[in-house]
Structure 1
Amino acid sequence: MKATYLFFALLLVSIQAEEQPPAASSTAKPNVLFLISDDLNSWLLENPERYTGKVIAPSLKGLAESGVNFKYAYTAAPVCSPSRTAFFSGVAPWKSGIYNNAQTIGKSAALNQDAVLSLAGLFKKAGYGTFGYGKITHGWDQKEHWDEKIGHKRDSAPPGHPLAGLSGGEQDWGPIHLTEEQMNDTGGGNKTIAILERKHERPFFLAYGLFNAHMPWYVPQKYFDMYPLDEIVLPEIKADDLDDLPPLARAVSDGIGSFADKVIESGKHKEAVQAYLATTTYVDTQIGRVLDALEKSPYKDNTIVVFFTDHGFHLGEKHHWQKTTLWEEGTHTLLMFRAPGVTKAGGSSERFVSLQDIYPTLAELCGLTPPDYVDGRSLVPLLKDPKATWESTAITGLCDKRKTDLAYISIRHELGRYTRYGTDEEEFYDTTKDPHEWTNQIDNPEYASVIGKLRAALPKDPAAPLPSALADRRGGKKSKEKKRGNP
């Protein structure tokens, strides 16, 4: 009887052991949890120089405090597709010629599929399982490098939209008609959690991207309720902020009479900021669910976590709405790393870094060798010592979709921000005294040596912007041949 009981007890233990994922080995390759949000600005960093209102984001603030938070991280391009193409391929816009959403990525020689290896491909070739859910890439990808990848979908617009009554299309906000569980970003989080609950025989690269906080801002009413209108703090805006800009910069801002001014003049600025903050908290909630799942999994002690945003976001500053500028609001991003055995809780770095640095950083942390062409530098020295010596890598490129033959390049540095539009229009801001970038000092002789140093730090001979896909579709015979499938 005792022998029979012992047999069944051992059998039960064996079955349970098979059902449980194996504990991560200290010698195993680390896993990667790669988290990205769209259009989320840096307000939740609680930097009073930029924004003094409350932002409810306990999960992201907790993640930042658990590892190293980069206070000054910047995108390589302040637009979705070129930003994601740059950090996922490792090829910067000033080499690929991809600066804006409308350009034809397939015409970039620097992004030739045979010569370039995506970040997912690097991990796939190293034997990792690769999984992606939601908005991770945009336009450029190598689908064969994913074991499973399910892209993002926009949630359907509520009945009666536009709810804000200011514009059709995506420039809208209000309570969504769906339950939170029905929302696509929630579904992407569910798929990500399912991977963390699965048994893995090899390390994994797991990416989760949220479409939010991209417009339109449609989230459940409860998130709006967290931000009463009478408690909303608006960003500081200077009425004559465009007066000292060169012509190309003024055009980038959209200028007086833009959608930003329409929001402000309609008296709905607080409502818009409320909706943006509500969407920020929805994003934080989904990230929190995924981080909780990681914490409950056997992989928590052997998984690198990186969270970042693809670019910044304007909410009226410089008479601009959304992104596509080279000022702080458009270029400044969130970036935080937690790497077991490397980072320490409470790390904060004030070095000026780039999203281009993510690719080589993850490669080094996982013992992989990135391709030689990859732009950016590994942040591992700063993960070990956030105050380590560092030369700024925070360079951003853009082309105005109305003037696609000109490349605009900006660098953010301890010395300030320098921007060159085309070949002869410039800006310089002493951000130590002017964090809002209100006063263009380009002609101030006191800054001549600083400006000279920053000019020299920009990429030499940046690639000209590639043609727009829209131009191809309007291009007569060439366009018709393309439609017929001819080369």
Structure 2
Amino acid sequence: MSTITRSPSPFFRCLLFFLLLMVCCRRISASPRKNVLFIVSDDMRPQLGAYSGPNFPSPIHPQMITRNLDRLASESLLLTRAYVQQATCSPSRTSFLTSRRPDTTHVYDLKSYFRKVGGNFTTLPQYFKKHGYESVGMGKVFHPREASGGDDPPSWTLPYYHPSNKPYWTTTKRSWYAATPHERKKRPLPDEQIVKHAVKMLRKLAPKAKSGQKPFFLAVGFYKPHLPFVFPEEFLAMYPPSEIHLPPNPYAPENMPSIAWCDYGELRDYDDIARLGLSGDINTTVPSNVTLDLRRAYYSAVSYIDSLVGTLLAELDHLGLAQSTIISFVGDHGWHLGENGEWTKHTNFEQATHAPMMIRIPGLTDHGIVSDQLVEFVDLYPTIVEAAMLGTLPVCPEESSHIEVCTEGTSLLPLISSNYTERKPYAFSQWPRNGTMGYTIRTSRYRYTEWPKFRSYPVYKPIWSALAGVELYDHQIDPEENRNVANATQYATICSKLKLLLHTGWRDQQNIQRLIFKYNV
């Protein structure tokens, strides 16, 4: 006797598929949304262990001790060539927290508040707040005081936290200081206070986050290694004086236009540096012994911040939040440590515009992904939003002052795929000086900069026909940017091509990518 097996009817198959779909959707909707831990460090160049290689900031360095950041990098999308849009605190932070460039935010200084001069833009923490997240901030996330209307109140759901001891430890009497255990017991360092508060907030937020009732966006802004370099004295022992070396190029780039130079007034304002009588003029170098002390103190401050990042990572693990929390770590820009005779930031050079960026996305970057693609800090916002599955941001039109949510960047999530193609073969930065605006384009091989006169309010446009200087640095043969070859005959064709790319600008993305590939620059 034979058995006849009948296949389900089309109606029954559709019903079965619908029921399975409903079950899957319920499981997805019931799973907690990803939290975000957003960490910013002030004035940190990418001289971290994870960056060792061709994209390291300087060939002369000690072995930087950053075990915790290196661990985070090993579980993250590590962007080894990430560039800020302007190398100083408020313009850079405003740019990556709104995903708009300085010519859109109209923030070029430490006083202007983007909501007053640019538009009522939705910031990254505010976006998560609008999507039901508990948005919590502490330390230096936005630039404080008038530059952010007091840490941008619309961005947060809970009261913003500032460490009480910051005024005591922020002094212009000395450019660096190693704090003793006794001093820190009496008055903990500001970043120690911040990490203590961050741990407290994580413990408070964890129950609702784990249940899916209320995910969080926790922004932790560390003040160091910003001047003055203040850190616990035990970190000096990590860097014996014999291991600290002078930069190999303590002189301005050959043929550099004077408009490109920063007189490092931020450093000269400290009493111990002021006593040296430095003018800050081109090629007025800081004495060797002072340079070595400053470099050692900077390294110590970086390792100090690394230890605090380790405290945050350990607490996430302890609370069982590590696998449900996206973690991003960035510096707000790079920093000169005597290379090219420069100090601090405030330039368009590689040392100032190149900064660390890493993004850990549980389930996607667990084994670490290292990308040497050129990326920009305006890319951070849309990347984190998409990683949290909160949508895709539209590209901002040329006039976007009335648009609350849009991006002038590009999501970096495709870089996680093993079969990605090159996303963005350029990075744009800028710096205002003496009525000009230095615009720079960084391609895989070159950094090209023009210094046109700049029309500010109400047009915010360069006058390309009125130039105060032009720069070209060939990173294939001159990675330290020691020689400006913009006027060299053999680079005339390259300059004309890069000029076209710079003037084309980021907005015409298809055309600029086509031109970069065509010209092989």
Instruction: Tell me the TM-score normalized by structure 2.
Output: 0.75
3-state SS of 1:29 partner = coil
Partner of 1:297: 319
Q: 1:132 aligns with which of 137, 140, 146?
A: 137
**Identity level (%):** 29
Does residue 193 of structure 2 align to residue 187 of structure 1? yes
Distance 2:262 2:167 in 1: 33
Contact kept, 8 Å, 1:398 with 1:409, in 2: the verdict is yes
Correspondence for 1:457 among 501, 506, 512: 501
Matched, 1:416 2:421: no
Question: Which residue of the partner structure matches residue 28 of structure 1?
Answer: 32
Counterparts of 1:208 and 1:54, CA distance in 2:
26
Residues 1:143 and 2:115 are matched in the alignment: no
CA distance in 2, matches of 1:30, 1:156: 36
Distance 1:384 1:32 in 2: 21
Secondary structure at the counterpart of residue 391 of structure 1: coil
Q: Does 1:122 align with 2:132?
A: no
Q: Output the CA distance in 2 between the equivalents of 1:431 and 1:243.
A: 15
Aligned mates of 1:357, 1:382 — CA distance in 2: 12
Shift of 1:146: 0.6
Q: How does 1:161-240 map to 2 (within 5 A)?
A: 169=172, 172-176=175-179, 178-179=183-184, 182-198=188-204, 199-200=207-208, 201-239=213-251
Match of 1:379 among 382, 401, 412: 412
Is the Cα contact below 8 Å between 1:132 and 1:206 reproduced in 2?
Answer: yes
Partner of 1:345: 367
User: C-alpha distance in 2, partners of 1:461/1:58?
Assistant: 39
What's 1:37 paired with? 41
1:365 aligns with 2:387: yes
Which consecutive unaligned segments of at least 5 residues does structure 2 have? Answer: 1-27, 269-277, 397-406, 453-463, 507-521
Deviations 1:6-31 (CA, angstroms, capped at 9, x unpaired): xxxxxxxxxxxxxxxxxx99833211
Answer yes or no: is the 8 Å Cα contact 1:350–1:387 preserved in 2: no
Amino acid across the alignment from 1:169:
T
Query: Matches of 2:31 and 2:499 in 1, distance apart?
Result: 46
Offset at 1:57?
A: 0.7
Determine helix, strand or coil for the equivalent of 1:66: coil
1:112 aligned residue (119, 137, 143): 119
- Tell me: CA distance 1:280–1:263, structure 2 relative to 1, closer, same or farther (3 Å): farther
Mapped to 2, the partners of 1:350 and 1:276 lie a distance apart of 26
**Aligned counterparts, 1:237-248, within 5 A:** 237-239=249-251, 241-248=252-259
Matched residue SS, 1:399: strand
Q: Distance in 2 between matches of 1:316 and 1:257?
A: 15
* Contact 2:101/2:408, CA 8 A, preserved across alignment: yes
Q: Which residue is equivalent to 2:486?
A: 442
Equivalent AA in structure 1 for residue 485 of structure 2: Q
Q: Are the structure 2 counterparts of residues 238 and 265 from structure 1 closer, same or farther at C-alpha, using a change threshold of 3 Å?
A: closer
**Alpha carbon RMSD of aligned pairs, Å?**
2.8
**C-alpha deviation, 1:459, in angstroms:** 6.0
TM-score, normalisation: structure 1: 0.80
* Residue correspondence of structure 1 range 23-102 to structure 2 within 5 A: 27-44=31-48, 45-47=51-53, 50-51=58-59, 52-102=61-111
1:474 — aligned with what? none
Structure 1 segments of 4 or more deviating over 4 A? 102-107, 251-257, 259-263, 459-462
In structure 1, the residue corresponding to 2:440 is in which secondary structure?
strand
Instruction: Measure, in 2, the Cα distance between the counterparts of 1:417 and 1:83.
Output: 19
Cα distance, 1:329 vs structure 2: 0.8
User: Contact (CA 8 Å) 2:42, 2:332: kept in 1 or not?
Assistant: yes
What is the CA–CA distance in structure 2 between the aligned matches of 1:66 and 1:439, rounded to whole Å? 38
Does the 8 Å contact 1:174/1:219 carry over to 2?
Answer: yes
Per mean C-alpha deviation after superposition, the further-off stretch among 356-365 and 453-462 is 453-462
State the 1:189 CA deviation.
Answer: 0.9
- Judged with a 3 Å threshold, the aligned counterparts in structure 2 of structure 1 residues 212 and 317 are, in CA distance, closer, same or farther, namely same
Given residue 104 of structure 2, which amino acid in structure 1 is its aligned partner?
K
Aligned with residue 427 of structure 2, among 394, 408, 411: 394
- Any idea what SS the aligned residue of 1:421 has? strand
Change (3 A) 1:33 1:277: same
The alpha carbon displacement at 1:377 in A equals 0.5
1:170–1:135 Cα change, 3 Å: farther
Counterparts of 1:154 and 1:428, CA distance in 2: 45
State how many pairs are aligned: 423
Which residue is 1:317 aligned to?
A: 339
Counterpart secondary structure, 2:74: helix
Q: Distance in 1 between matches of 2:485 and 2:163?
A: 42
Secondary structure of the residue that 2:449 maps to in structure 1? strand
Deviation at 1:389, TM superposition (A): 1.4
- 1:247: how far off? 2.7
Aligned equivalent of 1:249: 260
Q: In structure 2, what is the Cα distance between the partners aligned to 1:412 and 1:232?
A: 30
Distance of 1:55 and 1:406 partners within structure 2: 37
Q: For residue 420 of structure 1, what is the amino acid of its counterpart?
A: E
Quote the offset at 1:320 in angstroms. Answer: 1.5
- State the AA in 1 paired with 2:449: T
Instruction: Give the C-alpha shift of residue 460 in structure 1.
Output: 5.4
Q: Counterparts of 1:266 and 1:235 in 2: how far apart (Å)?
A: 10
Unmatched runs of 5 consecutive residues or more in structure 1: 1-23, 162-167, 463-487
Q: Secondary structure at the match of 1:301?
A: helix
